[in-house]
C-alpha cells in the first residue's frame, strides 16, 4: 500500500471508529460521568446535578467525534456552551479550578480506554491499528488541552465576578449590622452574614497598598484564622479593593490574641497592614471591636513616619497610648463613642454612676492600693470594695485594658456630661 493510500486507509479507519463511538455517545458519557463522580465527588453538588455534568461530557464527546469524522480543525471548533456554563457553576460554588482540570484529564483517560476497547472489536493490521490509536488519542489530547484552557479562562472570569458580588453583598449586610445600634435577632443576623455573632470576636482591618489585593488579603486571613485556632471560619468583608474588615470568632476569650496575630504576621510572606480591636462578646462586642480597630488604624496612619522607618502598619487598640493618640484630633461625638465603648453602662450620666466612676478612677490611680484609695475617698475598705465591684459590673467586663479605662475615667472627670450617655 502506497503512502497516500495508507494515509487514506488510516483516515477511513479513524472515521469508522469515531462513527461507531458517536452512536454510543449516551452510554459512553454516562460511564465517564459515573467514573468522574466516583473519583471527584465535588463535581456534583446542590446546584450541580449529575444530569448537568452528563450533558457537558456528552457535548464534548459529540464535538470530538464530529471533528474526527469530518476532519474539522480545532481552531474551527466551538467550545460547548453547556461545558462553559458548568465551569462557571463550579466557580460560583467555590470548587477549585484544579478540580475542573483534573476532571478533564480523567475524562481523557477514560476516553482513551474506550477507544482501545472499540479497536479490539475491529480487524486491522497492527501498523494500521497503531496509526489509528495515535491519530485518535493525539486529537483527544489536543482537544482536552484546548477546551480546558478555554474553560479555565471562563472559570477564572466567573470566579472574580462571583467574589466581587459575594464581597459586595456580605459587606452591605455587615455595614447594616454595624450601622444599627439596635438589638438584633442574633440567629437571624448570624445566618445572613454566615458568621457566629454569639461568639467572642476579634475585629481586624487588613489592607494592602496595591489595588485588587482582596484575594491576597483573604488568603492571609484564612491562614491567620488557622494559626490562632479560631472556633469557626473568619468573617471577611471587603471595604474597598485594597481593604478588608475581618472578624475572628472564638468560643472562649482568646487571651493574648494580639501577640499571636503579630507572631503569625511576622512569619507570613505577605506584606500587609493590620489594625486590631480588642476582643469582645456578642453583637455589641462585634461592633465595639470593629470601632476600636478603625480608631487604631486612624492613629497609625496619622503617625509621622521617620525617614527610613518601615512603612508597614501593625497596631492594636490594646497597645498603650494608641487610643489616646487616636482621640487627640477627634470630635466630641467620637470621644463620646469611645468612652461608651470603654466604660459601657458606667458612662451613663447619673449621680450613682458618677460616684462609681470617681471611686474606680481613684482606685486605679492609686495603683489599686485599697488603703490609699479608701483614705482619699473617705470610705471604709468594705465600702471601697463594694463600689469597685459595682463599677466593674456596670462596665460589663473585667479591667484588662487598664490604660484605656484610666484615660476614659479621666476624660469623664474633665468633660463630664459632654462625653456621658444621657438617661
What was the pLDDT predicted at 423?
A: 78
Ordered DSSP codes for 16-38: HHHHHHHHTHHHHHHHHHHHHHH
**pLDDT above 70 as % of the chain:** 91
What was the pLDDT predicted at 303?
A: 64
Question: With 90 as the cut, is the pLDDT of residue 421 above it?
Answer: no
Instruction: Encode pLDDT of 358-392 as tens digits.
Output: 888 888 888 877 778 888 888 888 888 888 889 88
The larger pLDDT score, comparing residue 268 to residue 47, is at: 268
How large is the average pLDDT for residues 381-406?
85
Q: How far is CA 274 from CA 233, 313, 344, in A?
A: 19, 6, 26
- Torsional class of 226: left (φ above 0), alpha (ψ -120 to 50), beta (otherwise): alpha
Ordered DSSP codes for 50-80: HHHHHHHHHHHHHHHHHHHHHT--GGG----
Instruction: Encode pLDDT of 295-311 as tens digits.
Output: 888 877 776 555 444 56
Phi first, then psi: give them for residue 146, nearest 5 degrees.
-65, -50
Tell me the range of 119-123, 178-182, 337-341, 360-364 where mean pLDDT is highest.
360-364
**pLDDT above 90 as % of the chain:** 21
C-alpha cell recorded at residue 194: 454566615
Sequence-distant (≥ 6) Cβ neighbours of residue 286 within 8 angstroms: 177, 197, 201, 203, 247, 280
What was the pLDDT predicted at 305?
A: 53
Instruction: Encode pLDDT of 76-101 as tens digits.
Output: 888 999 999 999 888 888 788 899 99
What was the pLDDT predicted at 212?
A: 64
The domain made up of 187-330 is a member of CATH 3.30.70: yes
How large is the average pLDDT for residues 326-338?
74
The larger pLDDT score, comparing residue 18 to residue 4, is at: 18
Kind and range of the H or E run holding 248: strand 243-250
Question: With 90 as the cut, is the pLDDT of residue 250 above it?
Answer: yes
What distance in Å separates the CA atoms of residue 139 and residue 151, rounded to the nearest whole number?
Answer: 18
Domain ranges of the chain: 2-162, 187-330, 339-418
Question: With 90 as the cut, is the pLDDT of residue 178 above it?
Answer: no
Instruction: Encode pLDDT of 192-219 as tens digits.
Output: 888 999 998 999 999 887 666 777 888 8
Q: Is 323:295 a contact under the CB 8 Å cutoff?
A: yes
How large is the average pLDDT for residues 339-346?
85
Instruction: Encode pLDDT of 218-237 as tens digits.
Output: 889 999 999 999 998 999 98
- Percent helix, strand, coil in the chain, to 5, is 65, 5, 25
Q: Using 50, 70 and 90 to split pLDDT, how confident is the model at 167?
A: low
Q: Return the CATH architecture of domain 2-162.
A: Orthogonal Bundle (1.10)
Amino acid at each position: 500500500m502506497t503512502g497516500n493510500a495508507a494515509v487514506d486507509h488510516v483516515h477511513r479507519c479513524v472515521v469508522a471508529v469515531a462513527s461507531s463511538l458517536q452512536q454510543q455517545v449516551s452510554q459512553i458519557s454516562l460511564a465517564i460521568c459515573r467514573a468522574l463522580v466516583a473519583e471527584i465527588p465535588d463535581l456534583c453538588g446542590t446546584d450541580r446535578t449529575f444530569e448537568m455534568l452528563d450533558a457537558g461530557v456528552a457535548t464534548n464527546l459529540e464535538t470530538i467525534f464530529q471533528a474526527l469524522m469530518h476532519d474539522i480543525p480545532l481552531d474551527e471548533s466551538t467550545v460547548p456552551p453547556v461545558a462553559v456554563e458548568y465551569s462557571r457553576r463550579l466557580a460560583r460554588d467555590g470548587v477549585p479550578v484544579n478540580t475542573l482540570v483534573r476532571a478533564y484529564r480523567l475524562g481523557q483517560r477514560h476516553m482513551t480506554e474506550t477507544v482501545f476497547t472499540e479497536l479490539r472489536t475491529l480487524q486491522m493490521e497492527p501498523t494500521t491499528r497503531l496509526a489509528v490509536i495515535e491519530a485518535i488519542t493525539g486529537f483527544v489530547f489536543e482537544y482536552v488541552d484546548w477546551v480546558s484552557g478555554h474553560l479555565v479562562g471562563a472559570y477564572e472570569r466567573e470566579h472574580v465576578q462571583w467574589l466581587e458580588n459575594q464581597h459586595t453583598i456580605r459587606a452591605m449586610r455587615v455595614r447594616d449590622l454595624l450601622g444599627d445600634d439596635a438589638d438584633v435577632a442574633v440567629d437571624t443576623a448570624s445566618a445572613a452574614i454566615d458568621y457566629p455573632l454569639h461568639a467572642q470576636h476579634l475585629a481586624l482591618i487588613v489592607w494592602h497598598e496595591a489595588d485588587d489585593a482582596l484575594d491576597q488579603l483573604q488568603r492571609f486571613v484564612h491562614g491567620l484564622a488557622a494559626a490562632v485556632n479560631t472556633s469557626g471560619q473568619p468573617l471577611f468583608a471587603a471595604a474597598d479593593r485594597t481593604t478588608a474588615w475581618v472578624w475572628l470568632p472564638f468560643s472562649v476569650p482568646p487571651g493574648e490574641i494580639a501577640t499571636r496575630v503579630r507572631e503569625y504576621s511576622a512569619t507570613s510572606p505577605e506584606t500587609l497592614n493590620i489594625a486590631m480591636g480588642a476582643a469582645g462578646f456578642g453583637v455589641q462586642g462585634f461592633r465595639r471591636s470593629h470601632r476600636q480597630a478603625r480608631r487604631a488604624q486612624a492613629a497609625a496612619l496619622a503617625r509621622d513616619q521617620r525617614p527610613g522607618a518601615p512603612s508597614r502598619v501593625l497596631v492594636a487598640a490594646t497597645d498603650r497610648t494608641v487610643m489616646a493618640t487616636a482621640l487627640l484630633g477627634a470630635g466630641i461625638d467620637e470621644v463620646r463613642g469611645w468612652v461608651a465603648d470603654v466604660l459601657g453602662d458606667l458612662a451613663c450620666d447619673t449621680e450613682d454612676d458618677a460616684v462609681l466612676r470617681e471611686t474606680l478612677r481613684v482606685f486605679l490611680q492609686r495603683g489599686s492600693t485599697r488603703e490609699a484609695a479608701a483614705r482619699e475617698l473617705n470610705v471604709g475598705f468594705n465600702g471601697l470594695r463594694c463600689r469597685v465591684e459595682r463599677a466593674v459590673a456596670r462596665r460589663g467586663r473585667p479591667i484588662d485594658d487598664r490604660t484605656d479605662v484610666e484615660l476614659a475615667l479621666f476624660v469623664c472627670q474633665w468633660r463630664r456630661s459632654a462625653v456621658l450617655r444621657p438617661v
